[in-house]
Amino acid sequence: MSVDYEAVHESYDRCLKDDTFFDTFYDLFLVKSPEIPPLFKDTDFRKQKQVVRVSVLMMIRLGLGEPQTREAIEKLGEVHSSRDRNIRPELYDLWLNSLCESVKQHDPEYTLELEQQWRDTMQPGIDLMVSMY
């Protein structure tokens, strides 16, 4: 199955119509592992939600081959690397699962096929970030 970036982008737009989308995401993500909450102990979640909002969009756009998008994700990967915030690669699966669970709750057009499109769309960005660990 080829990735349908447009379908994922439209799904993301539907999710963002609900201001609680990223509240749901963080509620889900923070309980996935005991090692996650300490990573956010000094986090201003209002700002963090703005950052992740743009980051998810960048991950969607990465598949379109835009050089500036790749550079943005590489910078994000550097911040999350062992040389900075030390976000272990195993945590990205939990992040993606939380994102997909949030989409399921907030996109009225959610299907299992759409979730797979989300996963296929996000994976190259996750792989790029993990490669920089």
| pLDDT at residue number 3 | 87
Which among 4, 102, 1, 125 has a CA at the least distance from the CA of 49? 102
The whole-model pTM stands at 0.94
Classify domain 5-131 at the CATH topology level.
Globin-like (1.10.490)
Q: For the chain, give every domain's residue range.
A: 5-131
| pLDDT at residue number 2 | 79
DSSP 16: H
pLDDT band at 1 (very low <50, low <70, confident <90, very high): low
Which among 92, 100, 93, 101 has a CA at the least distance from the CA of 117? 100
* pLDDT tens track for 61-110: 998 888 899 999 999 999 999 999 999 999 999 999 999 999 999 999 99
| pLDDT at residue number 22 | 97
